[in-house]
Amino acid sequence: MANKDQEGTYWINRPSAKAYDFEYKAPPPPSNPVVRGVALHYLSQLVAASGFVQGVLWSNAGFGKLRDRPELNDVDARYDPTVIKARRGAESASASTNEQHIQALNSEDWTARKPAKSPFYSALDYHEAYKSGSVTPLQVVETLLPLIRRDVKDATEHSIAFLQTKVDLVRKAAEESTARYKAGKPLGPLDGVPMAVKDEEDLTGYGKCLASKLDFTNKADVTSFCVKLWLEAGAICLGKTTMHELGCDTTNINPIWGTPRNPYSKHYYCGGSSGGSAYAVAAGLVPFAMGNDGGGSVRIPSAYCGLYGLKTSHGRISVRPSSNLAISTGVAGPLAANMVDLELAYRIMAQPDSQHSSSALFIPPSPSPPRTNKVLGIYDTWFSRADKAVQTACRAAIDHLTTHCGYTLLPITLPLIHDGQLAHAMTILAEIASGIPTVSQLTPPNRILLSLGKRTPAVDLLQAQKLRHLLMQHLAHLYAQHPDLIIVTPTTPNAGWRINDADLAYGCSDGNKQIRNMEYAWLANFVGCPAISVPVGFGDAEDQDIEGQGRVPVGLTGMAEWGGEDGLLGFGYEVEGWLGEEGRPRPETWVDVLGRAREGSGGVDG
């Protein structure tokens, strides 16, 4: 279905606008059992083998709440949340038009968008260093390889964030980039810049296991389209980063491949499921990395590690020939140390793919024009469920935006918001479970989760899709009434998730904390809208008596209308300008890659 919008553009599959006004009902405290250690191992075997136990746990999780709900009686089910704003009469996506867009992007003056002072190197710092000849891409990768390889005797704390690094491929790309700079012909601002890719994408020369014991490697040995665009821009992929097994939780704990610890506080998780990519950026190893987001998996680790993360509009980024296990909720998106890196990475990877049914129709991203309607929507009842420290940091950023950046604050409501989270959880678990033939080789927490996903009846899954459509209709109403509206929430209601060392061997089944951790993040995935997480400060870590625990970052999320990534980038720049250098100290584990490369030291700090 196509709907006409402003002159020259039109909407494809946009839901009809309809406001819903239901009485807010706070959810009951979750009552899922918390199980860890050896007990978790044996419980997972029982759950996987017993349909009766699966049914008990499925019901206990509240998934049956959507049955017989009168609010959903006259709502059609909608399974695909893809909504596209297309340009009438525009050229169809092709390699030539993409090349033109990339050339225009490379010719822009990016230095004006770089923060005057940042504690983190950006891609532009690498680019300028290479142009000046003070360091080469080859020197940079030779500095990084000893730090990130897990296949060497003296592996460092950084290597646990990487699953695979193909040394020959990394060096070959660095040699080619070095030659281009020597000839005075770099491809653009990403040429020679190190980056990393989550093990959810295909990459030529690499296997793919989604950080599990299973093999998802594409037999054709190909590279995902969005990753290919980064490589064609000259970026050097250091390898595949670790993730939560199958992307099925938000801590990034991984008993199989190891669990990287938060660079800001070693007693906290990096967040997941893109935690390996988040660690690599926060520790200074790369200025940006690829993540995937089915329920906050780009934004939650970005918030936990003090980074910028963009969950893109559903269907906009082509991962062809890869396919998300979370079919209707998962997307690819970048994590970055600075907003300029986030924009660069996004605008390159978001070029339309002529062989992808939805990506081909999206308008290519471009620099954001000045916005005349700067409105922040806040559902205060929902927002106020966050911890006090998180609210304080997020509200301070919002106060700055309304006081100094011209934004107005609009009170809004969102219908059935807590039921919506259950609907999302039911949907994504069923989607992932449908792509896993057996749970026998999974870690104990995922044996349980995906056993429950396989248990979901069709009638309940369809009820969830009715609620998806209801939420999309309500959002279409809000966005029609208030163009350029950005809905703001904390990224997570809690400041970080503390590591229990006893969980590292088996994982942990803590559905209560998982539900709370995703309280805000799920919405953008379920309805297909783009959302950005930006760092806004720190919250005190729990148990301050633990040595070296320190403080953990807090993130603020903005969610825009379908296809509204450009506006979110402008929002991100404004928050970045407010936070400034003093609001983002480097973590203790940060690596001065350019400094080491210039000195020719490599290796590990003494």
Q: How many CB atoms lie within 10 A of CB 108?
A: 16
Apex CA 143: angle with CA 141 and CA 147, to 5°? 100
More confident position, 420 or 544: 420
Per-residue pLDDT, 606: 29
Active site (catalytic) residues:
198, 273, 297
**Best CA proximity match to 311, nearest among 555, 586, 574:** 555
Q: Return d(Cα 301, Cα 279) in angstroms, integer.
A: 8
Apex CA 188: angle with CA 232 and CA 195, to 5°? 60
Apex CA 304: angle with CA 301 and CA 309, to 5°? 45
CB 558 within 8 A of CB 332: no
| Mean local confidence (pLDDT), 559-578 | 96
Beta-sheet pairing, 194-198 with 162-164: unpaired
Q: Return d(Cα 342, Cα 566) in angstroms, integer.
A: 11
% pLDDT > 70, the chain: 94
For the record, the structure tokens of 12 come out as: 């494809």
Per-residue pLDDT, 601: 46
Q: Lowest-pLDDT range, 87-91, 119-123, 573-577?
A: 87-91
CB 228 within 8 A of CB 201: no
pLDDT of residue 127 exceeding 80: yes
For the record, the structure tokens of 164 come out as: 């695979």
Residue 580 vs residues 88, 104, 229, 364, 573: alpha-carbon distances, Å: 41, 29, 31, 30, 11
pLDDT of residue 95 exceeding 70: no
Per-residue pLDDT, 105: 86
* Three-state SS at 115: coil
* Spatial CB neighbours of 243, under 8 Å, sequence gap ≥ 6: 198, 199, 200, 210, 211, 252, 254, 272, 273, 274, 275, 276, 277, 297
Per-residue pLDDT, 112: 86
Q: How many CB atoms lie within 10 A of CB 69?
A: 14
> What confidence tens digit (pLDDT) does each residue in 232-258 have?
999 999 999 999 999 999 999 999 999
Q: Which of the four pLDDT bands, split at 50, 70 and 90, describes residue 64?
A: very high
pLDDT of residue 86 exceeding 70: yes
Which helix (H) or strand (E) covers residue 577, if one does? helix 565-579
Q: Which residues pair with 344 in a beta bridge?
A: none
For the record, the structure tokens of 406 come out as: 């011209």
Per-residue pLDDT, 542: 57
Residue 9 vs residues 89, 180, 350: alpha-carbon distances, Å: 9, 40, 18
Q: Return d(Cα 573, Cα 537) in angstroms, integer.
A: 15
Per-residue pLDDT, 32: 84
Q: Lowest-pLDDT range, 131-135, 562-566, 580-584?
A: 580-584
For tokens 């205060």, the residue is: 380
Apex CA 300: angle with CA 411 and CA 505, to 5°? 145
**Mean of the per-residue pLDDT values of the chain:** 93
6-22+30-111+118-585 CATH fold: Amidase signature (AS) enzymes (3.90.1300)
Per-residue pLDDT, 49: 95
Spans of all domains in the chain = 6-22+30-111+118-585
* Spatial CB neighbours of 138, under 8 Å, sequence gap ≥ 6: 171, 174, 175, 177, 178
Q: What share of the chain is helix, strand, coil (3-state, %, to 5)?
A: 40, 15, 45
pLDDT of residue 5 exceeding 90: no
* Spatial CB neighbours of 29, under 8 Å, sequence gap ≥ 6: 512
Q: Lowest-pLDDT range, 44-53, 366-375, 566-575?
A: 366-375
- Whether omega for the bond prior to residue 321 falls within 30 degrees of 0, making it cis, is yes
More confident position, 322 or 408: 408
pLDDT of residue 549 exceeding 80: no
| Mean local confidence (pLDDT), 510-518 | 93
More confident position, 366 or 189: 189
Q: Long-range contacts: 209-212, Cβ < 8 Å, 24+?
A: 209/163, 210/243, 210/245, 210/246, 210/247, 210/325, 211/163, 211/242, 211/243, 211/244, 211/245, 211/246, 211/254, 211/256, 211/257, 211/276, 212/245, 212/246, 212/256, 212/441, 212/442, 212/443
Beta-sheet pairing, 194-198 with 236-241: parallel
Which helix (H) or strand (E) covers residue 238, if one does? strand 236-241
Residue 24 vs residues 210, 217, 387, 416, 418: alpha-carbon distances, Å: 38, 46, 20, 7, 9
For tokens 């990224």, the residue is: 491
Q: Which of the four pLDDT bands, split at 50, 70 and 90, describes residue 547?
A: very low
For tokens 């992307």, the residue is: 247
Give the 3-state secondary structure of 503-522. HCCCCEECHHHHHHHCCCCH
pLDDT of residue 280 exceeding 70: yes
No. of helices (H) and no. of strands (E), the chain: 19, 16
Q: Which of the four pLDDT bands, split at 50, 70 and 90, describes residue 602?
A: very low
**Best CA proximity match to 527, nearest among 424, 379, 377:** 424
Sheet of 84-87: strand order equals: 2-4, 9-12, 84-87
CB 289 within 8 A of CB 280: yes
pLDDT of residue 543 exceeding 60: no
Per-residue pLDDT, 545: 38
Q: Lowest-pLDDT range, 460-464, 465-469, 580-584?
A: 580-584
> What confidence tens digit (pLDDT) does each residue in 350-402 have?
999 999 999 999 999 987 666 778 999 999 999 999 999 999 999 999 999 99
**Best CA proximity match to 335, nearest among 111, 98, 80, 553:** 553
For the record, the structure tokens of 427 come out as: 């949907």
Per-residue pLDDT, 136: 98
pLDDT of residue 103 exceeding 70: yes
